[in-house]
Structure 1
Amino acid sequence: MSFDLLPDDVARADVPVIAHQDVTLREPGPGDTAVMAELAKSPWTSWWRTDTTPPNQVFWVVEHDSEVLGIITWAPTPVVADLRFTVHPDVEDLAPMVQAVSMVLDHAFAEGTTKSVRWTAMAGDLAGTKVAHAAGIRLHQQLPDHLADGDGNLHDAWLGSIRAEEDREPKTVWRWTELRTERFLLRPLAESDDPRIRETLDDPISRTFLFDRPKPLTDAHAGAERITKWWNAARGLSCTWAVADAGTDDYLGDISLLKIDATTGAELGFYTHPGARGTGVLAETVPVIVAHAFDDLDLRRLTLMAAESNLGSQKLAEKAGFHHFGTQPSAALSGEVMEDLIGYELLRD
């Protein structure tokens, strides 16, 4: 029984039933046809149908309180095994799915021959990555064009792994918070923001200072940038907020803390939707981000880099209390012109 996920001509391994508390891993049956069809339509499983399926692959349905939460496949090998899974789009509480993945890992390492488990997901699978992260899987890298879907389209992949001796605690701090000001909500980026992200990045002023963007720039390009920011947040490397109107939730811009490090601090980066310029979006929100960086993240230093001709960013830095600390000659490409890059810093009191 393939349910449009696994090739029909692949011999299935025996599927053990694994149960713990109220979570059960079992072989799919005829009663699962409808929910499996829904999962098969998910973009996060579309690449499975083109992937080479090992003959010993185990395919589980994850059941919690008589409800199917998702699917897990497991390909055991003597040393390194492969794991992938998809969460049903209607599932909000991911804790039972995290437990299910932990049960698979226990099963994998129980015999002592498997030393490491590799996890692969299509880039952008946010729910699946939250499960992997919570189950203690170390998030490694995003690989371009690593996967192909059933229509032959290429997709980036997110990769991770866990060794038998490692604990099951998250290996990074996922930078995923919400903050508020009087007029704005600072929240994680959402897929619905992509059209306005594209408008922001494709704006002539933005293009002057945000180089290396494709021309023409599409919603798909904007989505790829959002997905990369999600991944960097999951790995604890950065934190990006969409600045949204508190009433309408419309995307008005981005603010990021980049290259987060306990010793060197973080770099502040931002851009504003052209329709929101001149409305005080950054003037109101940057101080909140600065306070969050120092008080909640316990960082000791923030930097901000601005091209010499980017007077708006320089004024913003100075208004937020940043001080000039140095200039890098000919380090910024503004339009097609090389110019100096001005460095600002702010130290925690």
Structure 2
Amino acid sequence: MILRGPRPDDVRGQADRQREDPARGFDEEDARRWISFGMTDAWAAGERLVFVVEHQGRYAGTAALKPDSDGNARLHYGLSEWARGSGVASRAVRLLLEFGFSTCEFRVVHWWARVGNWPSRRVAWATGFRLGEAIPGLVRQNGRPIDAWTGWIGRDDPRSPRRPWFDHPVLETPRLRLRTWRDDEIARITAARTNAATAHFLPFIPQPFTADDARLWLRSLAEQAAAGIRYNWCIADAGTDVGLGNLTLFNIYRDAVGDGEIGYWTHRDAQGRGVMTEAIERMARWYFATEEEGGLGGRKLVIRTAASNQAARRVAEKSGFHLAGTERDAFPLATGLDGRVTYDRLAADPSPH
């Protein structure tokens, strides 16, 4: 993979890439003008420093830095479909950053992408950008404001991921499948999250939990995984694939994998069937397994809940967790403060099953 200037035979590749995104409204004549003189003119004017990305001897896309008045630049990149998924974009961005910081002496390079553009975010993550929260209405596309992810990287920053990106393993038992949630499960999520127990023990969750709340929650799950903050599994029936509940794993990384905390909830039609204890046991086996065994190599799992939440406490105890202590007036309920109980389970503890 190399970065280079444009050549006449790049017109076809540029035109093919533009056809992959018809919403932009570009045609083959636009591709010819861009390759023939548009890129060169942009360089000459100092408006955009654009390179052709060549991979396997052919045009694969472009990568560019757009200087600003503060001595910094904004990153742009795009690949043809055939070149995606093999690390080409990440390698191109690293080369471009080296050029920008060493030759152009930029101090900071900025990046943004429309919320939901996961391939672009994956490249920014892989190349060491510091990623922030989404900014509502940051940019305009097709005449309307859109929410955007943002990030930045400095000249002395490493060009590698700052945190892990959590790719959820699919974990199975004879009757359950732990997988990621899907966008077509909105109704199932809203029904599970709208109830008196949730309103009492988790008063920060909106009631009723609407379809819009569920969509925001699903987006948050994906962003938490991308930021290396939380795993969230849908606990699904192995036969029907119907979602039965949610299992969350968080607070995993300190200096290394050590302690992890879990949270959980079940749909009302799945309660009383041992679904959650079975799901926790399957996840715990993966969490405590060594990396060589395909796990995380964790040391301890923790559950924290309200002292009066008997249902959550029964799940903890049936899942082999031991009561570690109670902190008074530390768990906020809808009606005031409750004690917060902590349960833990070590990798060396025997399985309850």
* C-alpha separation in 1, matches of 2:113 and 2:17: 23
* Greater shift in the superposed pair: 195-204 or 29-38: 29-38
Which has the greater radius of gyration?
A: 2
Q: Does 1:211 find its partner at 2:203?
A: yes
Q: Please report how far the alpha carbon of residue 72 of structure 1 lies from its aligned counterpart in structure 2 after TM superposition.
A: 5.6
The 8 Å contact of residues 51 and 64 in structure 2, kept in 1 or not, is answered as yes
Gaps of 5+ in 2: 26-45, 290-294, 349-353
Equivalence for 1:274: 268
The 8 Å contact of residues 114 and 146 in structure 2, kept in 1 or not, is answered as no
* C-alpha separation in 1, matches of 2:240 and 2:83: 26
Mapping for residues 16-31 of structure 1, pairs under 5 Å: 18-19=3-4
CA-to-partner distance for each residue in 1:36-71, whole Å, 9 max, x for gaps? 32468xxxxxxxxxxxxxx92467787867999777
Alignment length (residue pairs): 316
Q: Does 1:131 find its partner at 2:141?
A: no
* C-alpha separation in 1, matches of 2:137 and 2:145: 11
The letter of the residue matching 1:336 is T
Q: Does 1:183 find its partner at 2:182?
A: no
Higher helix share: 2
Equivalence for 2:66: 75
Q: Measured at CA, do residues 347 and 64 of structure 1 come closer, stay the same or move farther in structure 2, by a change above 3 Å? A: same
Q: Does 1:161 find its partner at 2:146?
A: no
Equivalence for 1:298: 297
Q: Does 1:36 find its partner at 2:21?
A: yes
The alignment's C-alpha RMSD in Å is 3.7
Q: Measured at CA, do residues 293 and 109 of structure 1 come closer, stay the same or move farther in structure 2, by a change above 3 Å? A: same
Equivalence for 2:309: 310
State the TM-score, normalizing by the size of structure 1.
0.74
* Greater shift in the superposed pair: 140-149 or 165-174: 140-149
The letter of the residue matching 1:199 is A
Equivalence for 1:244: 236
The 8 Å contact of residues 18 and 26 in structure 1, kept in 2 or not, is answered as no
CA-to-partner distance for each residue in 1:4-48, whole Å, 9 max, x for gaps? xxxxxxxxxxxxx9349xxx99899566553232468xxxxxxxx
* Identity, % of aligned positions: 26
Q: Please report how far the alpha carbon of residue 183 of structure 1 lies from its aligned counterpart in structure 2 after TM superposition.
A: 1.9
Q: Measured at CA, do residues 152 and 112 of structure 1 come closer, stay the same or move farther in structure 2, by a change above 3 Å? A: closer
**Which of 283, 289, 309 in structure 1 is aligned with 2:283?**
289
Q: Please report how far the alpha carbon of residue 220 of structure 1 lies from its aligned counterpart in structure 2 after TM superposition.
A: 2.9
* Greater shift in the superposed pair: 86-95 or 319-328: 86-95
**Which of 147, 151, 161 in structure 1 is aligned with 2:138?**
147
* C-alpha separation in 2, matches of 1:114 and 1:89: 30
The letter of the residue matching 1:323 is H
* C-alpha separation in 2, matches of 1:282 and 1:25: 56
* C-alpha separation in 1, matches of 2:96 and 2:90: 10
Q: Please report how far the alpha carbon of residue 112 of structure 1 lies from its aligned counterpart in structure 2 after TM superposition.
A: 4.4
* Greater shift in the superposed pair: 332-341 or 314-323: 332-341
CA-to-partner distance for each residue in 1:123-145, whole Å, 9 max, x for gaps? 333222222222x2234321452
Residue aligned with 1:261, SS: coil
State the TM-score, normalizing by the size of structure 2.
0.74
The 8 Å contact of residues 75 and 82 in structure 1, kept in 2 or not, is answered as yes
Gaps of 5+ in 1: 1-16, 41-54
The 8 Å contact of residues 332 and 338 in structure 1, kept in 2 or not, is answered as yes
Q: Measured at CA, do residues 36 and 140 of structure 1 come closer, stay the same or move farther in structure 2, by a change above 3 Å? A: closer
**Which of 200, 205, 214 in structure 2 is aligned with 1:222?**
214
Mapping for residues 6-21 of structure 1, pairs under 5 Å: 18-19=3-4
